[in-house]
Structure 1
Amino acid sequence: LIVSYLTSSTAMANTNTELLSAVNTNKLEAVRAMLRKPGVDVNQHNCLHWAVTFGKEEMSRLLVEAGADLNALGMAGKETPLIISLSHSHPKIALYLLKHGADPNIPSGGSGKYPLEYASTD
C-alpha cells in the first residue's frame, strides 16, 4: 500500500513538473496530452503565470480552458495573471483573462497597484 501511494504520488509530481516544463517551452500538444491525465493540477507551479509572463497567448488560453485559477496570486504570492499580463505589456492576454472572469479588483501583493493602474501606464 505504501509503495503504491509513493509511486503514484511521485508519478504525479513528475507529471506536474513536466507540465511546467512543457508550458515554458510552449509545447501545446504536450500540455494538452498532460492535461487529459487524471490528477494533473493545472494550477501546480503557477503554469498560467509563466505562460502570461512570456506572452504565450495560445498557451494561456489552453490553461484557462483547462481550469487554471485566473485570480491566483503566484510567484511569491504577489501578482495575479491579469497584473502580470498588463505589467509585461500583453494586452491581448489581459483582455482574454478579463473576458473569462479575472477579477480587476485584486491589487498586486508587491506594489499594491491595481490592474487599471498597470493598464493606464501603457
Structure 2
Amino acid sequence: MVLAAMLWTLQGCTHYSIVAALPDLDEVQRVWNYCSRCVVDKRCEEREECEVDTMRNLPSALNHAIARQHLDIVRYFIEVVGMDVNTIIDDTYQSTPLRISAYYGSAKQLEILRYLVSAGADVNALGTSHARTPLLTAIWKGNTEGARFLLAHGADPSIQSDRGWDACMFAHRWSHWAIMPDLPGCCAKFLDKRWDGDPVEARVRPPELIAACRPGV
C-alpha cells in the first residue's frame, strides 16, 4: 500500500488539467495517463482534481485542439482516449468537432476536417446556431475547400439554416459566390432571366456571382 502510494506521488503531474496541457502532445499524454488511472484508484489523492480538471474537460480540450490546429492531439483524443467523434464539444451551439473544424479555412484545418470524416463524423449533424450544419458553417465562414469536401462526402445542401435558407440561399446571403457552382441548381436560380431589368438586380445578381457561375464569360 505504501509503495503504491509512493508510485502515485512520483508519477503525479504538476497539474491535472487536460486543457492546460495543450498544445504539447507529450504533456497531454502525461496528464491523461495519470488521471485516467487516478480516477479509478482510491489510493490516488488527486482523484477529485483529475475528475474535475481532466475527465469533465475532455470536450473542451478537443475543442481547443481543433481550434489550435493540432491534428496529432485530435487523433489522440479520438483514437487513444476514446472520445466519440460526434460528441458535443461546444454547449453554447451544440457543436460537434466537425462543425468546429468547418468554421476555420486553413490548410491544417482541412486536414483535421478530412480526418474527422474518415473517423466517422456525421457531416449533417445539427447544431443550434444560425449555421446549423458543418456545411452551412463552412459557407458562412467562406471556407470554400472545406465546403466542397463536405459536399463530396455526403453533406446535404437542402438542410436549412435557422431562418429557413438552404445552402444555396445561405451562400448568397453571405456573399460566398465561389461555392455556388458546387451547389446543385444554385447558379441557375440566380442566373434566371426573370432578374433582367429588375431594380434590385445588382443586389440579387452582382458581378461576383455572375463571374463565379459563368467562369470565362
TM-score, normalization by structure 1: 0.80
Change (3 A) 1:67 1:91: same
Please say if residues 12 and 40 of structure 1, whose CA atoms lie closer than 8 Å, have aligned partners that are also in contact: no
Match of 2:125 among 59, 66, 72: 72
Shift of 1:50: 1.4
Say whether the 8 Å CA contact 1:52–1:60 is kept in structure 2: yes
Q: Does 1:97 align with 2:150?
A: yes
Matching residue of 2:99 = 49
State how far apart, in whole Å, the 2-side matches of 1:77 and 1:69 are.
18
SS of the aligned residue for 1:16 comes to helix
Give CA deviations for 1:7-46 in whole Å, capped at 9, x if unaligned.
8x87654333221111111111111111102531212312
Contact conserved, 2:130 with 2:163, CA < 8 A, in 1?
no
Counterpart Cα distance in 2 of 1:13 and 1:67: 23
Q: Paired residue for 2:63?
A: 20
Q: 49-58 or 69-78, which moves further after superposition?
A: 69-78
Q: What SS does the aligned partner of 1:51 have?
A: helix
Alpha-carbon shift at residue 112 of structure 1 (Å): 1.1
Partner letter of residue 101 of structure 2? A
Higher relative contact order (CA 8 A, sep 6+): 1
Unaligned runs of 5+ in 2: 1-38, 41-46, 90-95, 178-217
Residue 32 of structure 1 corresponds to which residue in structure 2?
75
Alpha-carbon distance between aligned partners in 1 of 2:112 and 2:153, rounded to the nearest angstrom: 15
User: How far apart are the structure 2 equivalents of 1:103 and 1:24?
Assistant: 24
TM superposition shift of 1:54 = 1.7
TM-score if structure 2 supplies the norm length?
0.48
- Which string of whole-angstrom CA distances, capped at 9 and with x for unpartnered residues, describes residues 78-99 of structure 1? 5101011112111111110011
Unaligned stretches of 5+ residues in structure 1? none
CA RMSD for the aligned pairs?
2.5
Corresponding residue of 2:3: none
Q: Share of identical aligned residues, percent?
A: 35
Q: CA deviation at 1:68?
A: 1.4
Counterpart CA distance in 2 for 1:25 and 1:95 is 22
